[in-house]
Chains A and B, each alone.
Chain A
């Protein structure tokens, strides 16, 4: 087997290869008319753009920037709908594949990049087909083509999106979008935006500035179009002088969408933005017949910080709770979170690492898209609102004396409590069990559940804790909160700075110790019970 390999390599060099892949432009290619930068998406086996548009006969360069952990290439084909057939031919190259950059000898191949290893960038130069129509591009590395492909649209039609885009910049201090037409522009800060994308940083102004963008929006076909506008601080978009969407005022990056029916052809486009100081952002993307979330701004519309995943919303049914175990954001370094969404719109996450109730929130439960698409990298925050993180550290501890410090977690995990699991009732509501108090082996059952009603404004989570101990465990405490000022209220509740109110029912009175609220646990016949009701905004 080894012997023939040398001739094969030589033969393949002679018969294939060089015309198809190179990291320098073909001789005499000249300057490309269009340059695209396509990135591979880490952990997702996808290109970040699946639709490119070029004019017939244009000279095109595509730079493939590989941000994934696997090698990829990008091969442009002469027809559409053939990417799998050509890729399968590439896979059949077998051990000869790497030497040929997995590009098969096939008349349907226009050109391809070399294999880009993780972190590398490779390029392909080619002349677009002379006829209008769509053609495929694809990664021909074995196993990738099914999901890693896209379309090159060869067309003389105006490219959907903005053109003739210009901006005018303003300096000032506003709390709402002003009428810019009455203001003087900032110095000479006005220019064309060559890439026809909205860019609030084009004038390089910071802390108290405004931008107005004027241009033309090319609409590909008659239909309904949705514009997603997000900004920090305020912004507004007009089409044909009508306001389509706005997010005015001072706020962190906030997104809204507007829908409009548009006829095929050019429309007058205008957008305005202001920054009241500090953080800045503006993203605009549109969706319409046949395309979704195409960016009209240089800053890309992003859901979930950075990567975009399709939403897979998990929700309880009308009667049954839903459980999700996964890597959660806002969990403060705990990685074993058991989240529960109850019917009625209240949610919580129990922290298995630290044996504590870790998070409370209202509204929607959890979007599993990040974890269930691609490899599942990264933490995902709760989907709803009013996310309330609770105090870190195990909830129960035996203290040597009333002044002893609360035990700190070691490597993010509880030191004197051990998780045992949970049981679900008929409605899927969990009761967590664990032991605490170190050697004394106190058994705890911990059942949080919704109380009150979200639509009446009386919503709360009530937690019932039942403890059993064969022998008295010493000074066992429940720590209801710690780390924020806590004050006793006339109605018997406790207010914690940051919007949390606790109501505690226990045999012994809770004790405020600095910023901690400690509840001494008193056993009778080996059993103790306490309840904690959490309300928060």
Chain B
């Protein structure tokens, strides 16, 4: 008898765990379109830039820049032209005043076609002041220019554990005149970099030493991002005294009290749940052309070949917020993610070296909004004794009011020099009451306790829309760096 019960529970639990993160209905709202790459060519995207005239530029891990025309068309009619080659693993591409700015391993370059024959002929070094010592992990991910014209570059550690060459493990800004401005320490192994709608810069870092899980991190100038080996370059950074070295086998919430420069991850993307290897970042600044998630961030994963959605808020001077599943089923593992003003989300995939779901070695794909609004959690706000949820469509108020609709648990990770961490310190908050807005568009969930520093995991399994349909994705993971006073 007991056996049967356990087995039944197990089956139900498994089904829920798998189904609640991915939805077979994603295509109704956000279909994926694949852009064919040229026959015989290996196009492993590392950077995507948008050009006038509905053209696209793709910088690749093999060091080429391709121009693509016809990729926006329905169905796509892609025409690929190789613009430049010979660069060293492109992981950032932006176009400005007739030049491509390229982040690749050895430097930030700018590249131009000076004689108008369609091929690059000038390759200028903008900044090559960081070190490389021949380790394949020494990647350089570069942003588009910020409002001051600086490009932010996050420099992966040597072998992803140590900083064996100058400025490894740092975020530096490259000014328009080529100056390198050390900006943040503590970087481990970045997968992407990008701005939010307010011009704040973020990057993704991958599970590993001092990173219990992959996460989205806020590059607040002067901040420390978690991995202390980068401190060896601090004296030359112009950022003042070297911070206190954090203790291993601790918790982020503890160590940030000791290391005053420590800015904890804005949003942790729980390992094994939403991905293994966070990568590209794109912000919806399309003014509604990509749906109702304006100003939210989209964060991709190189291993799971998916895109998640992040809503952030500022509490107690720190960025924090929730991640929700968004779209699964791309053909290869994402590195660059780029939002076009017309509401096309561009996705560049490469499985080389680390394997990825999807089955293709590389791909260029796009996501467009069909115009139909999915029933989803829209925003999630921390409150002194719980969270407020808003919805994209009116929910059935009775299902919101039902305490059993809300499954909650909370956990965190060990902050340590060892690789990764299991989920630890589990807490099971109890929903004490739910205040439901009469229009069914929001609900205020009161919990018996909140745990600072914990990821609060919600599954809104019982919430239904007015037609009785469940949420497209019912999972939310909120990284509670600070508990708001009101």
Q: Is B272 an interface residue (CB 8 A)?
A: yes
Q: Is A511 an interface residue (CB 8 A)?
A: no
Q: Do residues A11 and B125 form an inter-chain contact, with CB atoms below 8 A? A: no
Distance (Å) between the CB of B268 and the closest chain A CB? Answer: 15
Q: Do residues A45 and B86 form an inter-chain contact, with CB atoms below 8 A? A: no
Considering the complex of A and B, which 10 residue pairs feature the smallest CB-CB distances, nearest first?
A: A11-B10, A323-B86, A2-B409, A375-B353, A421-B124, A4-B13, A143-B355, A325-B88, A7-B9, A377-B136
18 new A-B contacts at CB < 8 Å, known A7-B13, A143-B276, A419-B125: A4-B12, A4-B16, A11-B9, A43-B353, A94-B18, A94-B21, A143-B303, A143-B333, A143-B354, A143-B357, A352-B107, A352-B125, A376-B136, A379-B134, A411-B166, A421-B109, A422-B123, A423-B123
Give me the interface of A with B, judged by CB distance under 8 Å: 1-5, 7-8, 10-12, 14-15, 43-45, 70, 84, 91-98, 142-144, 146-148, 322-327, 335-336, 338, 352, 368, 372-379, 411, 419-425
Cβ–Cβ < 8 Å partners of A372 in chain B? 42, 61-62
Cβ–Cβ < 8 Å partners of A148 in chain B? 355
**Cross-interface CB contact of A12 among B10, B18, B89, B354, cutoff 8 Å:** B10
Interface size on B, residues (CB 8 A): 63
Given contacts A1-B459, A372-B62, A421-B122, A10 and B88 within 8 Å (CB-CB): no
Cβ–Cβ < 8 Å partners of A5 in chain B? 13
Bound CA–CA A219/B277 (angstroms): 46
Taken residue by residue from 167 to 200, chain B's Cβ proximity to chain A (1 for < 8 Å, 0 otherwise) reads as 0000000000000000000000000000000000
**Cross-interface CB contact of B133 among A84, A94, A335, A423, cutoff 8 Å:** A335
For residues 52 through 109 of chain B, which have their beta carbon under 8 Å from a beta carbon of chain A? Answer: 61-63, 85-89, 104, 106-107, 109
Q: Do residues B426 and A325 form an inter-chain contact, with CB atoms below 8 A? A: no
Given contacts A325-B63, A372-B62, A375-B354, A352 and B134 within 8 Å (CB-CB): no
Cβ–Cβ < 8 Å partners of B63 in chain A? 324-325
Bound CA–CA A372/B407 (angstroms): 46
Q: Do residues B10 and A7 form an inter-chain contact, with CB atoms below 8 A? A: yes
Q: Is B344 an interface residue (CB 8 A)?
A: no
Q: Is B294 an interface residue (CB 8 A)?
A: no
Q: Do residues B132 and A335 form an inter-chain contact, with CB atoms below 8 A? A: yes
Q: Is B26 an interface residue (CB 8 A)?
A: no
For residues 1 through 53 of chain B, which have their beta carbon under 8 Å from a beta carbon of chain A? Answer: 3, 6-7, 9-14, 16-18, 21, 42
Q: Do residues B333 and A420 form an inter-chain contact, with CB atoms below 8 A? A: no
Distance (Å) between the CB of A364 and the closest chain B CB? Answer: 17
Bound CA–CA A368/B63 (angstroms): 11
Cβ–Cβ < 8 Å partners of A425 in chain B? 121
Distance (Å) between the CB of A419 and the closest chain B CB? Answer: 5
**Cross-interface CB contact of B354 among A70, A94, A325, A420, cutoff 8 Å:** A70
Considering only CB atoms, which chain A residue lies closest to B166 in the complex?
A411
Q: Is B131 an interface residue (CB 8 A)?
A: yes
**Cross-interface CB contact of B134 among A8, A84, A327, cutoff 8 Å:** A327
**Cross-interface CB contact of A144 among B104, B355, B411, cutoff 8 Å:** B355
Distance (Å) between the CB of A380 and the closest chain B CB? Answer: 10
**Cross-interface CB contact of B357 among A98, A142, A376, A419, cutoff 8 Å:** A142
Bound CA–CA A368/B44 (angstroms): 15
- A–B complex contacts, Cβ < 8 Å, 8 sampled: A7-B13, A14-B6, A94-B21, A143-B304, A143-B355, A335-B134, A336-B128, A378-B136
Cβ–Cβ < 8 Å partners of B409 in chain A? 1-3
Q: Do residues B136 and A146 form an inter-chain contact, with CB atoms below 8 A? A: no
Cβ–Cβ < 8 Å partners of B354 in chain A? 45, 70, 143, 375
Bound CA–CA A44/B355 (angstroms): 9
Considering only CB atoms, which chain A residue lies closest to B9 in the complex?
A7
Distance (Å) between the CB of B394 and the closest chain A CB? Answer: 26
Bound CA–CA A147/B353 (angstroms): 11
**Cross-interface CB contact of A15 among B10, B125, B357, cutoff 8 Å:** B10
Q: Is B452 an interface residue (CB 8 A)?
A: no
Cβ–Cβ < 8 Å partners of A146 in chain B? 351, 355, 359
Cβ–Cβ < 8 Å partners of B333 in chain A? 143
Q: Do residues A336 and B132 form an inter-chain contact, with CB atoms below 8 A? A: yes
Q: Is B356 an interface residue (CB 8 A)?
A: yes
Q: Is B352 an interface residue (CB 8 A)?
A: yes
Q: Is B273 an interface residue (CB 8 A)?
A: yes
Bound CA–CA A10/B85 (angstroms): 55
Cβ–Cβ < 8 Å partners of B428 in chain A? 2-3
Q: Do residues B3 and A420 form an inter-chain contact, with CB atoms below 8 A? A: no
**Cross-interface CB contact of B353 among A11, A94, A376, A411, cutoff 8 Å:** A376
Q: Is B261 an interface residue (CB 8 A)?
A: no
Distance (Å) between the CB of B160 and the closest chain A CB? Answer: 8
Given contacts A2-B426, A421-B122, A143 and B7 within 8 Å (CB-CB): no
Given contacts A2-B428, A94-B18, A423 and B121 within 8 Å (CB-CB): yes
Q: Do residues A10 and B10 form an inter-chain contact, with CB atoms below 8 A? A: yes
**Cross-interface CB contact of A7 among B6, B16, B128, cutoff 8 Å:** B6
Cβ–Cβ < 8 Å partners of B125 in chain A? 352, 419-421
Considering only CB atoms, which chain A residue lies closest to B475 in the complex?
A1
Cβ–Cβ < 8 Å partners of A95 in chain B? 17, 272-273
Cβ–Cβ < 8 Å partners of A327 in chain B? 134
Taken residue by residue from 124 to 154, chain B's Cβ proximity to chain A (1 for < 8 Å, 0 otherwise) reads as 1100100111111000000000000000000
Distance (Å) between the CB of A311 and the closest chain B CB? Answer: 14
Q: Is B205 an interface residue (CB 8 A)?
A: no
Cβ–Cβ < 8 Å partners of B407 in chain A? 1
Q: Is B396 an interface residue (CB 8 A)?
A: no
Considering only CB atoms, which chain B residue lies closest to A373 in the complex?
B352
Given contacts A4-B9, A11-B6, A143-B356, A352 and B42 within 8 Å (CB-CB): no
Bound CA–CA A12/B16 (angstroms): 15
**Cross-interface CB contact of B107 among A94, A96, A147, A336, cutoff 8 Å:** A336
Distance (Å) between the CB of B239 and the closest chain A CB? Answer: 21
Considering only CB atoms, which chain A residue lies closest to B411 in the complex?
A2
Considering only CB atoms, which chain B residue lies closest to A10 in the complex?
B6
Cβ–Cβ < 8 Å partners of B121 in chain A? 423-425
Bound CA–CA A15/B9 (angstroms): 13
Cβ–Cβ < 8 Å partners of A143 in chain B? 276, 303-304, 333, 351, 354-357
User: Which one of A143, A148, A376 has the greatest number of beta carbons of chain B within 10 Å?
Assistant: A143
Bound CA–CA A84/B359 (angstroms): 9
Cβ–Cβ < 8 Å partners of A324 in chain B? 63, 86
Cβ–Cβ < 8 Å partners of B120 in chain A? 424
Given contacts A1-B407, A11-B7, A147 and B21 within 8 Å (CB-CB): no
Q: Is B465 an interface residue (CB 8 A)?
A: no
Distance (Å) between the CB of A247 and the closest chain B CB? Answer: 32
User: Which one of B62, B352, B356 has the greatest number of beta carbons of chain A within 10 Å?
Assistant: B352
Q: Do residues B128 and A419 form an inter-chain contact, with CB atoms below 8 A? A: yes
Cβ–Cβ < 8 Å partners of B122 in chain A? 421, 423-424
Distance (Å) between the CB of A326 and the closest chain B CB? Answer: 6
Bound CA–CA A2/B333 (angstroms): 29
Distance (Å) between the CB of A11 and the closest chain B CB? Answer: 3
